[in-house]
Amino acid sequence: MLHARRKGTEGRRGDREEQEALGRGSGSTSKRLPKFLIPLLALILLVSLQKFPSRRWRQQKRNNDSNGNEQQQNGRRNNGSSVFIDVGANCGNSYWKLKDDPKSGVLDPDEDWEVYLWECNPQMNEFFLRELAASNPSIHLIEKAASTVDGSLTFYLTRGQEDIRDKSEFSEKGVCDPKSPYSPSGASTVYGTAKRAGKSITVESVNFLRWFDDLVLAAEATRSGRGSSATTTTKSASGGKDGGGNENDAMKANKVVLKIDAEGAEKDVLEAMVSEGASGAICRVDMLWMEYHYAIFKEGTEEYAIHRKFKEDFPVDFEKKCGRKLTIGAWH
């Protein structure tokens, strides 16, 4: 019995010596880790995981960033931007007037806006609008005439302004003043019988109805999940380098505002948009700012009478087409 106890005691002592030897061999200490270091080590581990995420997480983030960049390059906006379309943009005074006048309540500075400026007068584009569009990626310049057909048409510069080579030669020394009732381009028009029609030039025209349909109706199909074979002409209208945006802009918009002041050309465009066979995209417009131009013709002429009647008929035709009255703001 005594021999057995001595053997057991020696065995336990041998085990301890073996464990200590193993500890020394591995370079570790036989002392326990202090308790106050445990939370510190846990914090270090947590920070390391956040700073160096898993390979799968990093790859997913790269994919998401890539998709986001692609959407921006294609002009796609998912932030519910409002849309302002200015047909007959002149020097950009309409944009500045609505943007800077808090009383208008149109271009709310607290909203994101996509702006489309339509102007076929080459003088206005050269001296004013290209610079304006270049200053803001949300402003898209379409240097063509809004019409009911694609192609070209005769455009008449304002009499007396045909040979201007510098913007200082315009009235008011070429200052684009949104508060002034006068515009630098005067009264350039598609009507050769207008009182102030001057030298004629040829400009490209775009079917504004189809452009507007693509901006609005194709977006409805996209958002509802039906898909659409419609091809947006927003970029093609401007040769692919401006026009920007895509078919989702107007449908996702908080507001769609159309301003049209085209020295008589608005009649054919708006009449077509409220006609019986039209798509009804114009019903998406929340507010219309426009000027009727019967006064650019001599009173008593057929054109004067036709444009005067348009002023009476258009609000009625819109209500019949859309089932509601349209808020129309007088321009100038």
Q: Does position 143 have pLDDT exceeding 90, yes or no?
A: yes
Q: What is the DSSP letter of 204?
A: E
Residue identified by tokens 């159309």 is 258
79 vs 215, more confident: 215
pLDDT of residue 290: 87
pLDDT of residue 39: 73
Closest by CA to 208, choosing from 184, 221, 190, is 190
Distance CA 148, CA 319 (A): 21
Q: Specify whether the CB–CB gap between 259 and 290 falls below 8 A.
A: yes
Distance CA 325, CA 48 (A): 62
62 burial (CB, 10 Å; 0-12 / 13-18 / 19+) is exposed
Which residues lie closer than 8 Å to 29 by C-beta, 6 or more apart? 23
pLDDT of residue 4: 44
The tens digit of pLDDT for each residue in 270-312 reads 999 999 999 899 999 988 988 888 888 999 999 999 999 999 9
Report the mean per-residue pLDDT for the chain. 75
Q: Specify whether the CB–CB gap between 268 and 147 falls below 8 A.
A: yes
Closest by CA to 191, choosing from 295, 328, 87, is 295
The tens digit of pLDDT for each residue in 156-179 reads 999 988 888 888 888 777 788 887
Q: Does position 145 have pLDDT exceeding 50, yes or no?
A: yes
Annotated domain spans of the chain: 81-330
